[in-house]
Amino acid sequence: MKSILIANRGEIACRVISTARTMGLRTIAVYSEADADALHVRLADEAYSIGGSAATESYLKGDVILDVAKKAGAHSIHPGYGFLSENAGFAEACEQEGIIFIGPKSDSIRAMGLKDAAKVLMEKAGVPVVPGYHGDIQSAEHLAAEAEKVGYPVLIKAVAGGGGKGMRLVEDAKGFDKALASAQREAASAFSDDRVLIERFVTSPRHIEIQVFGDGQGEAVYLFERDCSLQRRHQKVVEEAPAPGMTPEMRAAMGEAAVAAAKAINYRGAGTVEFIVDGSNGLRPDGFFFMEMNTRLQVEHPVTEMITGEDLVEWQIRVARGEGLPKSQGALTLSGHAVEARIYAEDPAKKFFPSTGRLARLQFPEESATVRVDTGVVEGQEVSMFYDPMIAKLIVWGENREDALAGLQDALEATQISGLKHNVGFLAAIAGHKVFGAAEIDTGFIDRHLGDLVPATDAVPTAVLACAAAYESGKRVACGNDLSPWADTDSWILGGQRGERFVLSYGENDLVMSVVGQASNMAITCGDVQVAVQDVRLSPRDISVSIEGASVRMGCVERPTGFALMHLGMTYDFGRPDPLDVDLDQGASGSKAVAPMPGKVIQVVVSAGDRVRKGDALVVVEAMKMEQTVQAPQDGKVAEVTVSIGEQVEGGAVLVKFEEEA
């Protein structure tokens, strides 16, 4: 094996390229139209176009990728995760073409690919499974009856699912039919398979998974556990290793069960056996149940690498080319604690809606032996609507959990992102939360503490207000703004220090700023806030000031209609109101519902003439792998539905118009 084609994109493609290069392998990238200038394309030795921007037109086209592999003379293909990574047909096609698939054999993927069949297999192997219904009868009536037998609350899960797609928590029988229809629709869209299974929802559930590795010749080891309990919408947000509260006895029990699962399918390569753990009475060897096995590398694999010192991608490559496992079980050691936070382009204040846009600023803390950044984008690039909204993964190691969490919070607060909405402040709030620090966690942690974790969108800290005023004053002087008395050079002053007033917008509010003095010593007033600022220093990338003796530095980015300040992981967008910018539609009659962001219409719920109440579902839009239900903004009668199923819409596009009420 002298060359490797990476059949993926983003941070995992960059991650694989990094290890492949250290092993002396020629790297080959593939890219869609949207990714023509992507980081993984720049890093690879060679790169080939494979089609349109949508994944179905590019990264999911196994035949096209295989043609490129043959054309480029690739000896192997690494699928990363997502896309074709767990596609048994693609793995088999690679085998038939004589190209090494860096992953399990196609038979192993098939064995674990369907959750219902996998659970039956695990039961035979002696691995404990969650009680539920895994049968073939898929009628709504039968599934509802099985849910009653299992007992509410239950989880509906896509048989072919993963990543939280096609999964719904149902609290009682009243909500079952709606949740089932939504789960089936999402499963069909994501996996072309709408079959589901029903599972008992475990009280105080913790999501703990075991990293396994097999050689495909009957041997397997486990590289300890990861706790992935902090989730929203059944998708992981923060992962850590080892799991808080894990005992040697339980680690051994879970590890041996995971190895038994791997051996049951003669597993080759990296895999993860995911367990749901009943955390109501602490971690006990009899309180864990098999959920599924992911037959690929996991997004959160870096925390395992940080605590073991092993390169799992290197392990994958070595095993794929026929070598034995690099280490035996007894030779594997665990050191310290590692935490990973997933940085997404999304708006926590708006139910974590995905966000798109150009990364006007992307700055991470400096990497070291204890801080690692995995990303697939660079400053200036676009985050598009076509793929997962992940920007980066920030991973921090510490001697213990307390040190790791403190380091993660520091690293997040040093991260600067502007140009789109992001969740860095949300993640920093998690890292610093007292309850999380005390390891009182389960999969409901984020929902319970959401009020503590999502920053208020209308609140601007005093330090940020002061820097905003100082920044704007400095820019006005630098630009020679004739309206600013600071720009005058006639040395004439009447009645003392020069001052100016200006207005900045923040969200829906206008902020009237008063600045008196100069950069070395100024008094700033905004509403009830009065603050003294000294030693203002402004550069193209940051502003530093002294506020009542305390030094403060913030990132800054100039925008066409304003500027952004970045402080402690948060981004504050200020606008410069234009007095001539008048909304000509203001006062127009009628109302409308618009798309929250670019996406594809997958369901239209209403028709012209329907009467709806505020909050009723109107249209379902799929964007960045997530369903967004657009709701009625008011009671009223539908005048027109302007879109149809399958249509691609831009953010802000009108979806439904309402009649004017007399």
User: Could you give phi then psi for residue 379, rounded to 5 degrees?
Assistant: -55, 135
Which of 296, 318, 372, 476 is the catalytic position?
296
Q: How many CA atoms lie within 13 A of 205 on its CB side?
A: 24
d(CA 320, CA 310): 17
Provide the b/e sequence for 516-526 (b: ≥16 CB within 10 Å).
ebebeebebbb
Tell me how crowded residue 287 is: count the other CB atoms within 10 A of its CB.
Answer: 19
DSSP structure string for 495-510:
SSS-EEEEEEEETTEE
Taking Cα atoms as reference points, which of 278, 127, 116 lies closest to residue 202? 278
**Rounded (10°) CA dihedral 42, 43, 44, 50:** -40
Q: Are 637 and 610 in contact (CB under 8 A)?
A: yes
d(CA 295, CA 91): 12
Retrieve residue 351's tokens: 């139910």
Name 286's Cβ contacts closer than 8 Å, sequence gap at least 6.
none
The answer to whether residue 185 is catalytic is no
Starting from the edge strand earliest in sequence, which strands make up the sheet with 654-658, in order? 591-594, 654-658, 636-641, 611-612
d(CA 441, CA 27): 41
d(CA 452, CA 445): 11
Q: Are 237 and 427 in contact (CB under 8 A)?
A: yes
Taking Cα atoms as reference points, which of 33, 90, 26 lies closest to residue 64? 90
Active-site residue set: 296
